[in-house]
Amino acid sequence: MEYPFEIQMTKNSRLEGLDLSSLPFGRTFSDHMFVADYKDGKWQDCKIVPYGPISFNPGLMALHYGQSIFEGMKANVSKTTGEPVLFRADKHFQRINKSAERLAMPQVPEEVFMKGLETLVSIDKGWIPNYEGSALYLRPFLFATDEFLGVRPSDTYRFMILACPVGPYYPKPVRILVAQKYVRAFPGGVGFAKAAGNYAASLKPAKIAKSEGYDQILWLDGQEFKYLQECGTMNIFAVIGDTVVTPPTGDTILDGVTRDSSIQLLKAMGKKVEERPISINELLQAQADGSLKEMFGTGTAAVVSHVETWAYQGTDYPLPAIEDRVVGPVLKKTLEDYKNNAIEDTMGWIKPVKELVNVK
């Protein structure tokens, strides 16, 4: 099925005079956004419009019952061709539809998702910053739009894509606090989905952690408070001895695109990687005997974020200095090189964005 696209260009670009090298993460948006609506059982009204507010009825079902999901991905400028490139766009497309299926929302067609992304990035390519650790962060999201107070799936939805020029999400190594009371996800729930409600539930414990001098929460499982799950908005990795270990994905852990990319790259580097449960007792033992060499989180926004210190039951456990680490720093540089198309794409992860013609 073909989906006609309408393009409405802004008359007043906000790019002129903007310093893309000193922007806080997620607060500055590019000139345009993509919008498509689902109604009468089909997707329609696909368009690029100037970035700006949207109006909605106070009875919007997304506000009351939480049918809202999103993705986070990035566009960079290729260091070899100078054109915009997307990193693993196909994986993000698959994941938003996996989230949609769990929340009883319609599937976003591949043409709508991909063409919306590419058109937006092509038009707003001037907004892509080009310094170390920077990118054009892309936020595809889908939410219910029925105006109805009743617990059922909505019949109508809106899919949108926003773009933000960003620098590093975590500009320095992080201190993390192991959760002792709060839980992120349970088996059978929506922990694997990028549902807005997952993040809302994490805000209070994260706020408590920050008040105690930590940057994020290291979640444990909700049944035994024994096994590592995720770290804030990131998947967690630990280097124990000569092995890189990370918890397996399932219905409580997000199938991170950066996580999957990291595992593949680490294996290609010859590193031993294990996807298996990691208990807090194993972590404590590895810390005690000196075999815990590194911990880091991975995510689209964070890329690779080194853990400086982790804390459990009132005790801080410092980790080796970043300059002494041999896995996380190399992985982070390799991922950044892939996203910038600075090295050969042997994995087939990079999607060039071609310039649109006849767009003014």
Residues 194 and 317 in one domain: yes
Domain boundary, last residue among 167, 192, 223 = 167
Decide if pLDDT at 100 tops 90: yes
Please report, rounded to a whole number, the percentage of residues in the chain having pLDDT higher than 70: 99
pLDDT at 21: 83
* Residue 357 forms part of a structural domain: no
Decide if pLDDT at 116 tops 60: yes
pLDDT at 168: 84
pLDDT at 357: 52
Residues 191 and 127 in one domain: no
| pLDDT tens per residue, range 64-92 | 999 999 999 999 999 999 999 999 999 99
* Residue 356 forms part of a structural domain: no
Region class of 335: left (phi > 0), else alpha (psi between -120 and 50), else beta: alpha
For the full predicted model, state whether its pTM sits above 0.75: yes
The rounded distance, in Å, linking the Cα atoms of 92 and 114 is: 10
pLDDT at 328: 97
Residues 183 and 297 in one domain: yes
Residues 68 and 214 in one domain: no
Q: Give the CATH number, domain containing residue 127.
A: 3.30.470.10
Residues 178 and 144 in one domain: no
Decide if pLDDT at 62 tops 60: yes
* Residue 355 forms part of a structural domain: no
Mean pLDDT of 301-314: 95
DSSP type of residue 202: H
Residues 149 and 237 in one domain: no
Decide if pLDDT at 19 tops 90: no
The rounded distance, in Å, linking the Cα atoms of 145 and 156 is: 5
Within 10 angstroms of residue 331's Cβ, the number of other Cβ atoms is 25
Tokens for 17, please give them: 């005079």
Dihedral sign for Cα 54, 58, 63, 65, please: negative
Mean pLDDT of 279-293: 98
Residues 105 and 145 in one domain: yes
Residues 200 and 309 in one domain: yes
Residues 138 and 259 in one domain: no
Summary mean pLDDT of the chain: 95
Pairing of strands 243-246, 272-275: parallel
* Residue 218 forms part of a structural domain: yes
Q: Domain tally for the chain?
A: 2
pLDDT at 1: 74
pLDDT at 360: 57
| pLDDT tens per residue, range 125-171 | 999 998 888 999 999 999 999 999 999 999 999 999 999 999 888 88
Decide if pLDDT at 248 tops 70: yes
Per the structure, the complete domain to which residue 233 belongs is given by: 174-326
Residues 199 and 162 in one domain: no
Decide if pLDDT at 197 tops 70: yes
The rounded distance, in Å, linking the Cα atoms of 329 and 333 is: 6
Asked whether the beta carbons of 261 and 235 are under 8 A apart, the reply is no
Residues 213 and 299 in one domain: yes
* Residue 95 forms part of a structural domain: yes
Domain boundary, last residue among 167, 185, 211 = 167
The rounded distance, in Å, linking the Cα atoms of 149 and 216 is: 35
What residue has token string 């909505």? 154
Q: Give the CATH number, domain containing residue 232.
A: 3.20.10.10
pLDDT at 171: 82
Residues 138 and 191 in one domain: no
* Residue 354 forms part of a structural domain: no
Region class of 262: left (phi > 0), else alpha (psi between -120 and 50), else beta: alpha
| pLDDT tens per residue, range 310-347 | 999 999 999 999 999 999 999 999 999 999 999 999 99
pLDDT at 169: 83
pLDDT at 20: 87
* Residue 81 forms part of a structural domain: yes
* Residue 117 forms part of a structural domain: yes
pLDDT at 149: 96
Q: How sure is the predictor about 261, in pLDDT bands with cuts at 50, 70 and 90?
A: very high
| pLDDT tens per residue, range 47-59 | 999 999 999 999 9
The rounded distance, in Å, linking the Cα atoms of 356 and 345 is: 24
Dihedral sign for Cα 42, 122, 162, 114, please: positive
**The residue count for the chain:** 360
Decide if pLDDT at 359 tops 80: no
Domain boundary, last residue among 113, 135, 167 = 167
